[in-house]
Structure 1
Amino acid sequence: MSAVCAIFSSLSVIPDGPYLKDSVNIQSLAASSIITLYFTDLGQQVSWTTFFLTEYTGPLLIYLLFYIRLSTIYDQVETTKNFRHPVVHLACFCHCLHYVRHLLETLFVHKFSGEHTPLKNMIKGCVFYWGFTSWIAYYINHPRYTPPCMYKQSTKLTLMCEAGNHFINVALAHQNHSGNKACFPSPTYNPFTWLFLLVSCPNYTYEVGSWISFTVMTQTLPVGIFAFLMVIQMSLWAQKKHKLYLKKFYPEVRRKAAMIPIVF
């Protein structure tokens, strides 16, 4: 279906059970000549590509609106008087790089197993990301923003985590579509993928690392709160995926942590 948003329904053989795939032949499910199918209205759905493109485009554009210091956001007199510290430009570059990477990976790297997701999930995601971006960008780009010290080291760490996240996602995409489903994703010649030796979800490790280092770089409360929430969310996702890996690849995964080497 080519529509961005559409209404979907699904069938199952037991109430509130797993939905049947489109490729399933109904005759193969029937133990007798009679079978009961349960209809579920899934409501308005959007594709996963639309979901992520919408979710990530917002923060990119919103941050740039604060970065150029629109007169409707900041006092124009203060804006012209205050010099911008280099960390403000670096923060804009790192923040935009983060979401540009997500957008490009959505288009050219990731392959989504499910075709659609509820529209309400996209709305909740946009409220979360867009709202936090407005809060974060307002403080960092404010004319009275006090620049922190020792921001150069954390900037380098942020960029390293962004690079590591990208290379892990590329490695996972190649593994998932190589036809080899019998082994756990393994490190490649790229040093950024060597984290696979210690954790089962290194992409979440790098994601958390980038936001923690961005917090140190900017030293603002909104970024710290956002980073804290991301650590919680990534930890939950990592634990869930780690349990699936343990069932499928127990010998390779049993000595690994989920997200943080040795600790978690």
Structure 2
Amino acid sequence: MKVTIKPRSGKPFELDLDAQASVEDLKKSIHKQVPRLYGDRQRLTFGEKKVTLVDGKKLSDYDIKDKDEISLKDLGPQIGWRTVFLVEYFGPILFHYLMYTYADLIHGVTFERSHMQKVAFFLALCHYVKRELETMFVHRFSHGTMPARNIFKNSAHYWILGGVFIAYFIYSPAFGAQTEAGKALSGDTRTLVLGVLFAIAELCNGQVHLILRNLRPAGTRVRKIPYGLGFSFVSCPNYFFETMAWTVFSILTSHWSCWVFTIVATGQMYIWAIKKHKQYRKEFPEYPKSRKAMFPFIS
């Protein structure tokens, strides 16, 4: 059959396709016709309602027939989500390291790091190294890419707010070992309890990521109802446990910069959780009605 491809800019063109061709087959044919438009760069829609054609489906699933017209949008240069995450989490690792190690040079004062600063530095590095390892070995992405230009916006949250903004203040001389603030926040029992709570939250977060990974076989976009740690109460326990980890970190440091980061991050995760919660309810009629989006028994 012949279908007409109508780009947003440029002249329409025709393609010869098998009646049982898949969306991926169509994208490959478009790529041959327009080499710069590789598959992840294409957004294809069909019909008056502009239904998006999804990989893994056949054209016949959308009732596309001979001489039909399909709209094509160029999404622009793309970058893989795995690369995006690796770049995002590298920033805080770099800035926490530099601002802790070279705090004397940055602040122009030589001082001894307090116990709180040492523990905060260790916990921050552990968190972001864990995220890097999960990105490389755990996460399976339902969407392969995003527009390359968005990496700057996505990275700003982690590099600036989670990196520079926090590290500059909490590793400053104001919280050094000889200051009253540094001594007040460095009690052995206090630090130990908060460190353990942070570790528990991080381990629970990691376990949820493993549960989500095992729901989706490699190379597929399969979606199932998740069960296990935290899922009896909320749709996104990974976001809940991460919020708990950063709340503990904020209590440990007792600095407003950490609380700002925690509040902003929690707000963003809550928006994502609401969206995923609605998707689960829409996609699975049998989805547990007692589950909340992110906060148990609340919302």
Match among 158, 161, 182 for residue 198 of structure 2: 158
Secondary structure of the 1:152 match is helix
Secondary structure of the 1:196 match is coil
Partner of 1:122: 151
Is 1:137 the equivalent of 2:177? no
How far apart, CA to CA, are the structure 1 residues paired with 2:261 and 2:167? 12
Number of aligned positions between the proteins = 248
Secondary structure of the 2:107 match is coil
Partner of 1:34: 67
Q: Which runs of 5+ in 1 are unaligned?
A: 1-5, 188-192
Partner of 2:126: 97
How far apart, CA to CA, are the structure 1 residues paired with 2:63 and 2:269? 41
Deviation of 1:251 after TM superposition, in Å, equals: 4.0
Q: Does the 8 A contact of 1:140 with 1:218 survive in 2? A: yes
Match among 84, 89, 109 for residue 138 of structure 2: 109
Q: TM-score, normalised by structure 1?
A: 0.85
Q: Does the 8 A contact of 2:215 with 2:224 survive in 1? A: no
Deviation of 1:109 after TM superposition, in Å, equals: 0.6
How far apart, CA to CA, are the structure 2 residues paired with 1:250 and 1:216? 41
Q: Does the 8 A contact of 1:200 with 1:253 survive in 2? A: no
Partner of 2:231: 196
Alignment-mate amino acid for residue 164 of structure 2: S
- Which aligned pairs between 1:169-208 and structure 2 lie closer than 5 A? 169-177=209-217, 184-187=225-228, 193=229, 195-208=230-243
CA separation of 1:15/1:142 partners in 2, compared to 1, >3 Å: closer, same or farther? farther
Q: Does the 8 A contact of 2:215 with 2:223 survive in 1? A: no
How far apart, CA to CA, are the structure 1 residues paired with 2:112 and 2:49? 60
Q: Does the 8 A contact of 1:151 with 1:218 survive in 2? A: no
Question: What percentage of residue pairs aligned between the two structures are identical?
Answer: 30
Alignment-mate amino acid for residue 168 of structure 2: Y
Deviation of 1:151 after TM superposition, in Å, equals: 3.5
Q: Which runs of 5+ in 2 are unaligned?
A: 1-37, 176-180
| Structure having greater relative contact order (Cα 8 Å, sep ≥ 6) | 1
Partner of 1:20: 53
Residues 76-128 of structure 1 deviation map (CA, whole Å, 9 limit, x = unaligned): xx22xx22111111101111111111111111111101111011221101122
How far apart, CA to CA, are the structure 2 residues paired with 1:197 and 1:9? 38
How far apart, CA to CA, are the structure 2 residues paired with 1:247 and 1:27? 24
Deviation of 1:70 after TM superposition, in Å, equals: 5.1
